[in-house]
Amino acid sequence: MKRQKISAFLLRFAVYLAAFITVGALLFVVGYILVKGVPNLSLKLFEWKYNSENLSLLPALLNTVLITVLSLLIAVPLGVFAAIYLVEYARRGSRLVRVIRMNAETLSGIPSIVYGLFGMLFFVTALKLGFSMLSGALTLSIMILPVILRTSEEALMSVPDSFREGSFGLGAGRLRTVFRVVLPDAIPGILAGVILGVGRIVGETAALIYTAGTASDTVSGIMDSARTLSVHMYALSQEGLYINQTYATAVVLLVIVVCINALSASLAKRFSRKR
Amino acid sequence: MNKFDISNLDLYYGQLQALKDVELQIPARQITAFIGPSGCGKSTLLRTLNRMNDLVEGCKITGNVLLDGQDIYKGGMDTTALRKRVGMVFQKPNPFPMTVYDNVAFGPRTHGVRGKARLDDIVEQSLRDAAIWEELKDRLKKDALGLSGGQQQRLCIARALAVQPEVVLMDEPTSALDPISTSRIEDLCVTLREKYTIIIVTHNMQQAARISDNTAFFLLGEIVEYGPTEKLFSVPRDKRTEDYITGRFG
């Protein structure tokens, strides 16, 4: 009897401790960055021009947006159309579908530095695109393609078959059924996947350093080398001279990531409420 | 005049034979009911009539299914054209996740009807025919998924009517509905009979007895007995039919 009580107490203690450490670690990291970073935030950091007196993060912020848009332009159509093929056109449970799915899962487990290496060897060198936004975006789009493919697939599969039947029953063909009935219903789920992809892009450094390079100026085209916020942070902290500005950049990045997560959570909620 | 003329029909799902040598004449502008225990093939036969079974993998069909004398499984019968003539209402109400208006207009748009005025007319007429216009005329732009189950099913009937079919197939259309909605749909079927040929699958023998002109009793993929509803329910020829309608099994 007494023994049971002791083990119950120990177990409860362990559970509380684990929960406390988990939440505590998150709060500590966020708090530490805010304390170090917020005082260093200033309007000067958002000036157009970057130089060694004023380490403006605006160019990096704009580059982040640009490279995200570019990567999505490549990866979203590919991923969504591939998912449509897998769910709507391919025979369910066919070998091809299984192979593609397994490939996608394997790809999503590869460390991003490997993508970076591949991007450098293939896009930068072999295709002679150089260190550029385009090389970076191409590399990133390959990296997020599995994420978008898998979430789009899940979203399409969660559309009830009764919708498809209803549409076929009215004489609609597969194309019309997919684009007018199935896809609109799957869009919130697909968007959630896209946002996950955006999160990975925004946080990525390894895949970008050797593909998009680390040039710190405002870019004038997609063939220019450019650094995103994460790469900017990496470069600053590596140089070790501008730690305060690094923290300020971290705050901006943190805010962006929190916004993206909130957006994705609210979309996922809307998605699940409908079911 | 027979709308459908079915003969020597066998249907297999892979190795399993789901329909055996079915022979059936379905008269135009009457209500024909398919009754029988679960898994007896009545829904399968219904889905054969607008080729919805084409979508099922490993489904093989042999025999003749004539619609107005033309075999729907032979000689370039286009499923789009066929399903325009033979509409379908499903067991579970399945309105699309769009507005009431777009639901009803989906079929006509599929078949190339354009122009707001024409679509407006079709939507109103279809909703009137499905006896739901008064309830929904102020909610045409509302999401169809917000309607009650009974309203959703009548909306699905309106959606099926909007392409001006000749035949309406109903696969247990009231099994997911409450008694009041059920009786409204039954009334609706009786009025629709003036314009359409209706074939209804039902688990509910009283429903078949109330609304249908002819009834076919299915057992294990075969039609045991087929005839005028009144006769089939009062003086069944086959012992198995009698056992089923008196509730001895099923």
Distance from C-alpha of A87 to C-alpha of A189, rounded to nearest angstrom: 14
Whether B3 contacts chain A with CB within 8 A: no
Say whether both A72 and A15 belong to one domain: no
Q: How many CB atoms lie within 10 A of CB A107?
A: 17
Q: Are residues A161 and A35 in the same domain?
A: no
- C-alpha span between A187 and A86 (Å, rounded): 16
Cβ(A235)–Cβ(A249) below 8 Å? no
Same domain, A50 and A76: yes
Instruction: Return the number of other C-beta atoms located less than 10 Å from residue A231's C-beta.
Output: 26
pLDDT in tens, chain A (275 residues): 688 889 999 999 999 999 999 999 999 999 999 998 888 887 777 777 776 667 778 888 888 888 999 999 999 999 999 999 999 998 877 888 899 889 988 988 899 999 999 999 999 989 988 888 899 999 999 999 999 999 999 999 999 999 999 999 999 999 999 999 999 899 888 988 898 899 889 988 888 888 888 777 777 777 778 888 888 888 888 887 888 888 888 898 889 888 888 887 787 777 665 54
Which of the four CATH numbers 1.20.120.1200, 2.40.430.10, 3.40.50.300, 3.40.50.2300 does domain B2-245 have? 3.40.50.300
Taking only residues 125 to 164 of chain B, the set having a beta carbon closer than 8 angstroms to any beta carbon of chain A reads 145, 156, 159-160, 163
Give CA–CA dist B109/B128, Å, rounded. Answer: 19
Residues A179 and A114 in one domain: yes
Using a CB-CB distance cutoff of 8 angstroms, which residues of chain A are in contact with residue B79? Answer: 171
User: Could you give the CA distance from residue A199 to residue A140 in angstroms, rounded to a whole number?
Assistant: 12
In this structure, are A131 and A14 located in the same domain? Answer: no
The CATH number covering residue A156 comes to: 1.10.3720.10
Are B52 and A167 in contact (CB < 8 Å)?
Answer: no
Using a CB–CB cut-off of 8 Å, the residues of A that contact B are 91-92, 160, 162-163, 165-173, 176, 180-181, 184-185, 274
| C-alpha distances in Å from residue A120, one per residue of A78, A204, B115, B198 | 22, 15, 54, 66
Q: Are A26 and A77 part of one and the same domain? A: no
- Residues in A touching B55 (Cβ below 8 Å): 165, 168
Distances (CA, A) of A20 to A7, A13, A130, B33, B202: 20, 10, 48, 65, 59
A66 and A167, same domain (yes or no)? yes
If one counts every other C-beta atom within 10 angstroms of the C-beta of residue B30, the result is 17
Same domain, A15 and A74: no
Boundaries of domain holding A129: 44-274
CB-based contact B96 A170, cutoff 8 Å? no
Residue B63 φ then ψ, to 5°: 120, -170
Nearest to B110 among A170, A184, A274 (CB): A170
The b/e string for A176-185 (b: 16+ C-beta within 10 A; e otherwise) is: bbbebbbbeb
A153 shares its domain with A248: yes
Same domain for A30 and A49: no
ipTM of the complex: 0.90
Q: Do B97 and A163 touch (CB under 8 A)?
A: yes
Q: How many domains does chain A have?
A: 2
**pLDDT tens readout for residues B178-199:** 999 899 899 999 999 999 999 9
The verdict on A29 and A85 lying in the same domain is no
A79 and A201 housed in the same domain: yes
Q: What's the Cα-to-Cα distance from A236 to each of A66, A132, A230, A255, B9, rounded to whole Å?
A: 21, 20, 10, 19, 77
